[in-house]
Structure 1
Amino acid sequence: MTEETNGAAEPKAAAAPSQPVMQVLAQFVRDLSFENIVAQKGITNAAQPDVQVQVNLDAKKRSVENQYEVIMKLKVVSNIKDTQDPMFLMELEYGGIFHIQNVPDEQMHPFLLIECPRMLFPYVRRIVGDVTRDGGFPPLNLETIDFLALYRSELQRRAQAEAAAQTTPAS
């Protein structure tokens, strides 16, 4: 027994959700400052450094559809380990313009503050290394930043601040 078809196409399976798309459209240094404090004071820089790195992130939607700007702000402070006298101070704001599609609204915030900085970080690391070397110090090779952990700690800090604000009686 043979089965005949009438030539009609079989119904398509439910369309799979589109994969997220991210393109880096541009990268730029928005602000850069480096102060070689030991050179200004005439101190030798042979001392053992104590380096502290602070990272802040900012993201915003641009006026063009599906475009976002992400800024990574780094503050690097190096002090002499024994005396805590300052050696150098570096501040860097590094930005990227991203085209992002197919990311649900509820996932956009973490996407912008985790995935986008991951794309920018290798360039930031290179700039920090080059500037510290050009500033008269051994190049500072930043350790990889866990942007997921950074995002989670910021959410936790905000939740604690909101909880503290709600339990504080009004004046």
Structure 2
Amino acid sequence: MSQTSEANGANGADENADGAQPTINILTQYIKDLSFEAPNAPGILRGQPRGPSINIGVNVGANALNDADGDFDVRLTLNASAGEGADRLFHVELEYGGVFRLQNFPQEHLLPMLFIECPRLLFPFARQVIADVTRNGGFPPLMIDPIDFAKLFQQRMAEEQARQQVQTS
């Protein structure tokens, strides 16, 4: 067993100054808010147009729950609409959360973990909720394509930097 820990150290495994490995645990997952609207049902269900435009919005939020434990509430918000105006087929909103325990991560790694890795872990479950609710609403299940949370995080950080530059000017 000591050979394994020595091998991990020799291979450059991420450890903090105390030698403890960073860990991430999902303590719980939950639906905070779920809304489904099919404003033109049942009439629209009989003559569904082919290929309606589908708009999808994504947002990620995170809050510390108890700094001593390293617990964070991470929420993934997904909005999806099919069709527009009088031809709207459906609109679904989901706020799906998880409580994560992040331990032994360097401070500079916390934000990427909270806004990239945690939502990446939540996404398959939120995607399934959206697919189920649209199917149960009488439509083909909406299978949202995978989301690049790293790209969303980079865009968010760039917007924040631009906002700070405007404020200091």
Q: TM-score range with shorter-chain normalisation?
A: 0.7 to 0.9
Could you tell me how far 1:163 is from its partner in structure 2? 2.7
Alignment-mate amino acid for residue 73 of structure 1: T
Alignment-mate amino acid for residue 146 of structure 2: T
Counterpart position of 2:75: 71
RMSD: 2.1
The within-5 A match list for 1:112-127 is: 112-127=114-129
Residues 1:131 and 2:141 are matched in the alignment: no
Helix, strand or coil at the partner of 2:83? strand
Helix, strand or coil at the partner of 2:134? helix
Gaps of 5+ in 2: 1-5, 10-14
Give the Cα–Cα distance (whole angstroms) in 2 for the partners of residues 153 and 88 of structure 1: 29
Helix, strand or coil at the partner of 1:49? coil
Larger C-alpha radius of gyration, 1 or 2? 1
Q: Deviations over 1:65-89 (max 9, x none)?
A: 1111100111111115xx8732211
User: 1:107 and 1:84, CA in 2 relative to 1: closer, same or farther beyond 3 A?
Assistant: farther
Gaps of 5+ in 1: 1-12
Query: TM-score normalised to the size of structure 1?
Result: 0.80
Give the Cα–Cα distance (whole angstroms) in 1 for the partners of residues 80 and 47 of structure 2: 16
Q: How many residues are paired up?
A: 151
Q: Which structure features the higher share of helix residues?
A: 2
Residues 1:53 and 2:56 are matched in the alignment: yes
Residues 1:148 and 2:150 are matched in the alignment: yes
Give the Cα–Cα distance (whole angstroms) in 1 for the partners of residues 161 and 88 of structure 2: 34
Helix, strand or coil at the partner of 1:130? helix
- Kindly report structure 1 stretches of 4+ aligned residues shifted beyond 6 Å: none
Give the Cα–Cα distance (whole angstroms) in 2 for the partners of residues 85 and 113 of structure 1: 35
